[in-house]
Amino acid sequence: MTIVGTLEIRQVTFFDDEGTPSRVEALVTSRTTATNVTTGESTEDNADFIVRLDFATGIFENDGKFVNIKDEDSTRFRDIGRFVSNPETGEILFEAGPKDAGLGDSTPLLCEALA
């Protein structure tokens, strides 16, 4: 499989009154096409999401569309919604929306869509 595309990240850092970074936000836009090199069949995976990290609390948030794959039968595989966690403890604090890839590696879903 080959994957070709673009990734755009726009990052904003927020500061407290003393000029110390307090949190960071990144808007991520990904446009990729995966192609089965044997069959030539291809599918798109377009993602748009926001990542936030609060330095004071250590809380990590993801909001948006992380995986969005459509196979030849127009079946969609998606990781969409909101995911809030504490990276230090590994605790998931909040999760909403369908998570077909479980916020993990979407390669198996791409392979399934191109089979």
Overall pTM surpassing 0.75 (yes/no): yes
Higher-scoring residue by pLDDT: 1, 26? 26
For 15-58, write each residue's pLDDT tens digit.
999 999 999 999 999 999 989 899 888 888 889 999 999 999 99
Mean pLDDT of the residues in the chain: 89
Helices (H), the chain: 107-113
Higher-scoring residue by pLDDT: 73, 51? 51
Nearest of 46, 34, 43 to residue 3 by alpha carbon: 34
Phi, psi of 108 (to 5 degrees): -60, -35
